[in-house]
Structure 1
Amino acid sequence: MKYPITLTLLATASLLGGCASGGAVDAPDLIPGELAAGRYVAEDENQVWVFWPNGVFERALARSADKPPVIDWGQWWPVPGDQTLVARGGGAAPEMLRIVSGKTLALPVAGTAAPVELEWEDAPAPLQQDRSMALCFMTMADAPLAYDPRTMRNWPVAMEQAYPQLETIYAQSERQPPQRVAVSVDGHWVQREAPDAGGEQLFLRVSQVNGVMDADSLRCPALDLQGQDWVLRQLDRQPVQTEGDHDPVHIIFGEDRRAYGLAGCNRFSGPFERRRDALSLGPLATTRMMCPQRQETEQAFLDALGRTERFAIEGRRLFLMSGNGQVLAVLRASE
C-alpha cells in the first residue's frame, strides 16, 4: 500500500499571533530571511515542508511505499545576517537549511555531496497526517487550549472527535486554569474560522487520547503571565547574573494591563496588550539614572521588550519571543 504525503490546499492563512500568510500562487508572502511562506516539496516528492510565518514548521518524510510518512514539527527561525534558517523539531539536532532564493531551499544530507533542493509549490496548508503529541491541556469558558512544547504555543482545540475525552480528563483532575493536564494524544492541525471573527487560524484536532502524563516532566505551564514577578535569567542566549546588592532585572504584568519593573538601573512602566500568546509592550517610560556598569544589560533588555510579539510559559519560566519564535529573553517567576 502506498502512503502519499497529503495536504489540505488553502489559499490563505491567518495564524495565531496575528501574522498573515498565504496569497496568490504567483505572489507569496515573504517571511524573515526572504523566504516565501508555504509548502516546499523535494523533486522526488519524498519530503514536504510547510513553513508558517509565525515561526512554526511541519515536515513529512516518506520512508517507503508501504510505510506512513514520518511527521516532524516545531519552531523555525532565520540566522541573522545569513541566508540560513534553523528548524528545531523532535530530533536531537536542529536542521539547517540554506535559502537559495525566496522559493528554493537546500537541505544538506549526511553522507551525500549534493543537498536536497526543496521548491515552493503553494501557500501554507496543514499536513493532514496524525502524529503522536505530548500536550498540556486546559479548558475554561468553552475555550480549550493545548500547549505544545515543540512549538511553544497555546493552540485552540477543535471540539470534535476525541475532545470529550480531554474535557473529561481535565474535569476529573480537579485542576483549575492556568493549571494543565499533560496528555499523550494523536492529532494534527486543521484550518478553521476563529470564533472571535478574527479570520482563519490553526486548531488542533485530537483523534485519539493515549493517556495522562507527568506534567512536571513535560514542563507544563504552571502560572499565568499576569501577577507574577518575572526575574531576568537569560538575554540574547546569554545568562544574566544579579551583581552584588543590586536588585534583579525584572518585570511584572499587572491586572490593569500595565507592565512595570527594573531594567537594570532605571525603572520602567507602560501598557501591554495580550491576546492568546501574542504580546506587545509600550510605549515604555523610564527613569533617567546613570549606571554605566548596568547600561548594556538595561538597553538590551528594553530592546528585547520592544521586539516582543509573543510569549510562552513552561513551568515557572517565561519566554519572550519575536513573532517567528526567536527567543529574546528568558525570565523566571520569583518564589
Structure 2
Amino acid sequence: MTDPSRSNSGFSALISIASGLSGAQAALTDADVRRAGPKLREFFAGQRLTSGSSGWLASAYARRSTVDALINYESVLLSLNRDNDAGLTVIRPRDGVVTADYPLSALTGATPEARDAVRTLTEHFRSTAVQREITARTLRRPVVAAARPADPLAPEQRRELPFPGTRSVADGLLSSYEHRLRRPSRTVYVLDTSGSMKGRRLAQLKSALNGLTGDFREREQVTLLPFGSAVKQVRTHTVDPADPKAGPAAIRADAAALSAEGDTAIYSSLAAAYDHLGPDTESAFTSIVLMTDGENTAGRSAAEFEAFYRALPEARRVTPVFPIAFGDSDRSELEAIAALTGGRLFDGTKEEGPGSLDGAFEEIRGYQ
C-alpha cells in the first residue's frame, strides 16, 4: 500500500480499512479510530511494501515474490492483470470504496481565455467517444452514463465511503498510522562526502539532512554512512517514542560534523550498506538512499557490485537503493543501480523546490 501521508490511493485505503475494521456506519470519528486501533495494528503487521507512488508500487509488486497482495487503484490492479499477467483477484469492499475523482479546473487567477480553453478541454474529455477510449485504454471508470465501463470493470456502482468528518480525525488517523500502526522504517543514507562536495554542495547536504530530521517517525532507525575513497564511519540512531527528540538531535550533530575529502567509492559503500543491514528485512521497511555528486572513482566497479548484489540471498535483495542525482553525478550509472535493486532515481540537481536535494530527500520519505 502507498504511504497515506503522500499518496491519495494510500489515504483512501487507510480510510477504507479503518471504516471496515471499526464498523463505522458514517464518516469516521475519533472514537471509531480508537476502537479500530488493535485490529489496525494487527492488519498492518502484515505490510511488507510501501511507496510514495501507486505506479512504482505496482512495479515493485510485480518484481517481489515476497508480497502476495496489493492495495491500489482498481485501474492499476486490472492493468497489472492485463499487461503483466499478474493473476490478481480484484476484491472490491462490500462496505464501500473511496473514489479517486480529480476534476479538471482552472486556477483562480486564470484569464478568461485560459478558462475557455480548460472548458473546451473538459468537454472533449467528457465526450462519449473519448470516455470510451479512456476506459478501454486505462481501465478507469467513465464519468458519463453513455459510456459503458470496459469489460474487466464490474458494471454495478459501489457504495461511496465518506471521508472523515473533520480534519482532526484525518490528521489523527495519519499520525497513528505513521507512528504506531505501520512497521517502522530502517534506512541507510549512503552520503558522498568526497573532495568534490567541499563548500556549497556539502552545505546543501547538511541543510537537507537537518530538514529531514523533523519528519522522522517514532521507532525509525536511521544510519548515516558517509564515504569518500572508502566508508568513513557508520552511525545509527533510533527515534525512541520515550524520547523522540534525542535521535533527530544526534543525526543533526552527525550531519554538522561531515567533512569533504577523498575520491568517490560508490559501489564499495553500497556493498557496506547491504552488509550493515544484514539479513533482517522483515521487521522494518528497509531501504538504502544513495546521494552522490560524481561518478565512481575508487573501490569496487559496477560489475563487481552487481556480482555482489546478485549473490545476496533473495530476502536481502528486496532492499531497494534510491539514488539521488546531484551535482555532476553520472545519471546513467545511478539509473542502473536503481534498476538493479528495484529502486527509483530521484533528481536533486535544482537549486530549490521540486527537483532540489531537499525535495528529493522529502519525496523518498514516501518509499520508506
Asked whether the two chains share a fold, i.e. TM above 0.5, the reply is: no
More helix by share: 2
Greater Rg over alpha carbons, structure: 2
| TM bin (shorter chain) | under 0.3
Q: TM-score, normalised by structure 1?
A: 0.24
